[in-house]
Structure 1
Amino acid sequence: MQTAFLRLPLAKKLLHDNLTAITIVLSSVLVLFLLFSTYMTQKNLRAETLYKANVLAANLDDNLSIEYQKQARKLILNAGTASNVLSIYVFDNKGVPQISWNRMSHFVRPDPAAIITPVSHAQTSLQSSYLAATVPVMDGAEIIGMIQMHVSLESIYKDFWLHLVMGLLLLIVSTVASVYLLTERQIQRLAPIIELSRVAEQVANSEDYTLRVQHPESKQLGSLSQHFNKIMAHIEVWESDIQSEAHQRREAEQRLSILENHDSLTKLPNRHFFHRLLTNCVEDAVESNQLAALAFIDIDHFKALNDAYGYDAGDLIMTTMANRLCNVLRNTDTLCRVDGDEFAAILPNIGSVEMAQILSERLVQAVREPLIVRGKKLVITASVGVACCPLHGKEQRLFLHNTDLALKEAKFSGTNTWRIFTAPTGNLVPATPATRLAVQ
């Protein structure tokens, strides 16, 4: 027999419940059977004892006189041959004992004090160890004496214990078999619900709403599984819509963040993002005592170029300059567009002022590369002002101010050059002569 289903938690519960219920039912049946069997056994014993007593009384009606007592004793001995007869007493019509017989001593002297109440009809009384049957001895319509016979209840007790033992064995066997078969049948019937519960648990743990329950053959349970699968399908669609909506919302937020923090033309971070990033850069530089630089890059004469060639040309110049400047900077640097013709480069962990000077020269040279605008070759120049933190200021406002001073000095020096603010005297480091090139 297959016992794999017993490992299921539900099977153990059903097994316990079925065992309890079947044990109660079969035990009740056994008790009722024992009571009925005992009742029928003692009823049959009463009838048998009364029959024997009546037969003896009918044979003794002519043998109660003194001269006939010898014959009466023979009849009593004959009646006492039955194994369950314990004693026989013969009384006169007043209840005084005349003959007394028992299985152990046979005939004994009657006790004159053992007087019973005369009876007019047969009756029985049940004691703990014997059954007493008392019948009158009739001579026509006249009562001439009484017979009292005691029989043993041993047969009743034997039958009771025999039936009890056999009933208990049968109860145990039938209970075990019934509980096993009933539980197995219940598990088979509940298999679709168990499968549904298993799938529901998997869905709850994995949040995978694509899982489905196989349809069982049962119409009722099949309908339950179909409804469950429909619910799962609706949840799957709903989750997909939620995820799609969340994805669209994240994309919209990202686009909004880009619009809020980036320049629409060059796609570079704007002034708002620049100030936030610079705040973090200054804090990190002061805390770690590592040199960071800030460069303002201003396109020289941009307004004149914009007026001469148009706004489309101005946009082309700004996007081209943005790409050139980004190519010069390091991966850790950030280029921002902070004004119409002005860029700002945040240079964390610059290492030294000399490195800032090298990057400044490269920025100026990158801008100076020839550019074709409306079929004309132009040389665009830029002025660059640089300050270092914490060397030129530990506070953001002062840092910005000193960088702006460096830019103004670069523009005052004739443009197409760079300047680095020097501390603490405020002197500016001039660019090399090679950087002071005129606009071609």
Structure 2
Amino acid sequence: MLLRDFKIGKKLLLINLISASFTMTLLILSIAIIALITNRNNLIQDLKIQSRILGESLSASIAFNDAQSAQHLLEALRWSPYIQKVVVLNREGQTFSSYPLQVKIDLNQKLTFWNSLSNVVIQQPIGVSNQQVGQIYIVASLHHIYIQLGKFLLLIFFGMILAGALGVYMIRRLQINLTKPIIGLTDSMRQVSNTDDYSLRFNLDSKDELGELASGFNTMLGKIESHQAKLDSELLRRKHAEDRLQQLAFYDEVTKLPNRHYFKERMEGAVASSIRYKKLCCIMVIDLDDFKIVNDTLGHNVSDDLLLAVAKRLSNVIRTSDVLCRIGGDEFALVLENILIAEEAIQVAKKIINTLSQPFVLEGREVFIGASIGVSLCPTDTADIPILLRNADTAMYSAKNQGKNSYQMYQPEMESKNILRFSLESALRRALENNELLLHYQPQVDLISNQTTGFEALVRWNNAELGLISPTDFIPIAEEIGLIIPIGEFVLYTACLQAQQWRERHAVDINISVNLSGRQLIQANIVERILAIVESTGLPFNLLTIELTESILMDHSKETLDKLEKLSQSGFTISIDDFGTGYSSMSYLKRYPIDTLKIDRSFVSGLPEDANDVAITQAIIALAKNLDMKLVAEGVETEEQLEFLRVHKCDTAQGYLHSRPVVAEQAEQFILNKNDRNVVMNNE
């Protein structure tokens, strides 16, 4: 235990000293014991010889009872360094003579082990002619042997000290070649362990086992370093893969915002916090208005850029604690936590509407887009997350149905409207099959001749259960679910066929106007489809006016230009509907082959009292005249409006003043009543 924390050099030194000392001690003890036993045995042999010689010499003295001569013989023993006592007994066992004089020996005393280590007792009989005449006892001391043995051990001890010093010196010298490399190797291993730096190496120029150990250590470090590099690379790759999976799982690729999965998780936390701390939280569903038009006309790349720009704007108007997510194609969701009153949510909704009303510049063009926002509060409306999200969706659709670019707080009565919308969507899918769609026609009247020059064909839906449904209710649904394409082709075919029938029946050429949606225009074969449909009815191409909204012309692509030029070259008239309310610049007026501008009813309604409407209408009329385009004013309902338009040289009027949209039979009667002279009119 004491050596556990010592360095290997000290351990080696101590172990060598201890083992050497122990070995030398055993050796000395062995030598001492052997020397003691040998000297004692030699002494006993010498004493036996001396006692036999002495006994032969004393036999005559005892036989003649000459004690004096015996004493003289014993006195000669004084020169012996070993003999201590000598007693000569006669035949009767009485002391005959002794050395020293009058010394006694207890013949009955037992010889013990310890006595045998200090003295040696020799008993020798004295005989004459094979007859014992007495005995001689000699007691010798081992003291002199011990003195000699001590001197010998002292000499060995000094030799041990010298050998130990020499051993220490040799061990110290060996440490340079043995322990020092081991210590260095140990330090290197400790440094690698502490720093995890596997580029370290321990260099040892040696061909022995230590050199092989150092070489193996370096080789091991090299392999570990190589494996570590591969492991780090693999871990980095996996980390990137995990981050990528995390990004794909919880974030949207286009906007870089959290996605629906993240949104649902955050909603759970927000609702739980709202209930726990008795505060409001708000869920907003933000749906971009007319985004499908942008996507259909400008393409997916521009649409993605628009979504990214919208995400950045929305992020700039919310708090850092609020959570903005993209949960659908053009649908965003916003979680507002820890709000005190509903007015806070309303203020955020207003900010969003205001910031999204500003134009976006994408690929060098201005793009306008609005947003319809639905707001649902927790726990005021509900604390159930799916219902909370559904309520926000319901409020959003309510905002969209009420004119878009606005917000609506959820109200329970919205549920019935939402149910109605889904009922409309379901019924609309069957409308074409059940022949529930029909056309109404609204006349367009020349302001100078007061003669009908054409009709705008407007689709209506007469459902057996729901009755007559307004286009404002089902056209947006048709756009969303893709039914606008078959409905548009139905309107085109029916309107052209009706115009051809009037032409054949009354020998009049009546221009017919049909709306073309953005979804129809982006079809690759739209020109061929229009030509085939119109040709199948027999109507001359020059009697058909194709009406487009300004938003459709936001796409400045060559494909759109080529399609419109083909239609124009085929003889069709190209008209811009609701002019002045679109979201793009007027550069398309010189780019595209446009023949007619239709002044939106929102400008006509204030004529001639509203100064702004007057200025805008006059500007549109002047613009059309300068560009050599025809003009049609929509929503004309009063004589004052009609007179203003006539004075300012607008070409054509359309509105309730002349007629509401009517069925084909009523429109035919209108033609007969208005065209007393039966003059053929067209748009040229």
Residues 24-83 of structure 1: CA distance to partner in whole angstroms, max 9, x if unpaired? 433432332222222332244345435645665676687776397755553343345646
Q: What corresponds to 1:101 in structure 2?
A: 97
Change (3 A) 1:357 1:438: farther
Counterpart CA distance in 2 for 1:67 and 1:414 is 167
Scaled by the length of structure 2, the TM-score of the pair is 0.50
Q: What corresponds to 1:190 in structure 2?
A: 179
Q: What corresponds to 1:132 in structure 2?
A: 122
**One-letter amino acid matched to 2:121:** L
Counterpart CA distance in 1 for 2:164 and 2:237 is 63
What's the CA shift for 1:402? 1.9
**One-letter amino acid matched to 1:262:** Y
**One-letter amino acid matched to 1:130:** V
Counterpart CA distance in 2 for 1:416 and 1:144 is 154
Match of 1:223 among 198, 212, 220: 212
Q: What corresponds to 2:324 in structure 1?
A: 335
Change (3 A) 1:387 1:106: closer
Tell which deviates more after alignment, 288-297 or 32-41: 32-41
Counterpart CA distance in 1 for 2:4 and 2:328 is 78
Residues 293, 388 of structure 1: 8 Å contact kept = yes
Match of 1:278 among 267, 273, 277: 267
Counterpart CA distance in 1 for 2:78 and 2:294 is 149
Gaps of 5+ in 2: 105-115, 417-579, 584-684
Residues 405, 421 of structure 1: 8 Å contact kept = yes
Counterpart CA distance in 2 for 1:156 and 1:18 is 36
Scaled by the length of structure 1, the TM-score of the pair is 0.74
Gaps of 5+ in 1: 109-125, 428-436
Does structure 1 residue 321 correspond to structure 2 residue 310? Answer: yes
Counterpart CA distance in 1 for 2:303 and 2:65 is 162
Match of 1:409 among 395, 398, 402: 398
Give the number of the structure whose alpha-carbon radius of gyration is greater: 2
What's the CA shift for 1:262? 2.1
Counterpart CA distance in 2 for 1:272 and 1:99 is 127
Q: Report the secondary structure of 2:284's partner residue.
A: strand
Residues 118, 143 of structure 2: 8 Å contact kept = no
Residues 409, 419 of structure 1: 8 Å contact kept = yes
Match of 1:302 among 273, 291, 295: 291
Q: What corresponds to 1:49 in structure 2?
A: 47
Q: What corresponds to 1:268 in structure 2?
A: 257
Residues 86, 102 of structure 1: 8 Å contact kept = yes
**One-letter amino acid matched to 1:86:** K
Counterpart CA distance in 1 for 2:359 and 2:281 is 31
Q: What corresponds to 2:337 in structure 1?
A: 348
Q: Report the secondary structure of 1:349's partner residue.
A: strand
What's the CA shift for 1:210? 4.4
What's the CA shift for 1:230? 1.9
Counterpart CA distance in 2 for 1:378 and 1:128 is 127
Tell which deviates more after alignment, 335-344 or 22-31: 22-31
**One-letter amino acid matched to 2:204:** H
Q: What corresponds to 1:153 in structure 2?
A: 141
Does structure 1 residue 242 correspond to structure 2 residue 255? Answer: no
What's the CA shift for 1:407? 1.0
**One-letter amino acid matched to 1:250:** K
Does structure 1 residue 385 correspond to structure 2 residue 374? Answer: yes
Counterpart CA distance in 2 for 1:275 and 1:18 is 75
Number of aligned residue pairs: give it.
407
Q: Report the secondary structure of 1:255's partner residue.
A: helix
Residues 287-343 of structure 1: CA distance to partner in whole angstroms, max 9, x if unpaired? 222221111111112222222223333223222222222222221122222222221
Residues 180-200 of structure 1: CA distance to partner in whole angstroms, max 9, x if unpaired? 678767866334334444544
Q: Report the secondary structure of 2:409's partner residue.
A: strand
Change (3 A) 1:60 1:388: closer
What's the CA shift for 1:224? 0.9
Q: What corresponds to 2:64 in structure 1?
A: 66
Change (3 A) 1:68 1:8: closer
Counterpart CA distance in 1 for 2:306 and 2:4 is 81
What's the CA shift for 1:135? 8.2
Does structure 1 residue 31 correspond to structure 2 residue 29? Answer: yes
Residues 322, 337 of structure 2: 8 Å contact kept = yes
**One-letter amino acid matched to 2:266:** L
**One-letter amino acid matched to 1:101:** S
Change (3 A) 1:82 1:339: closer
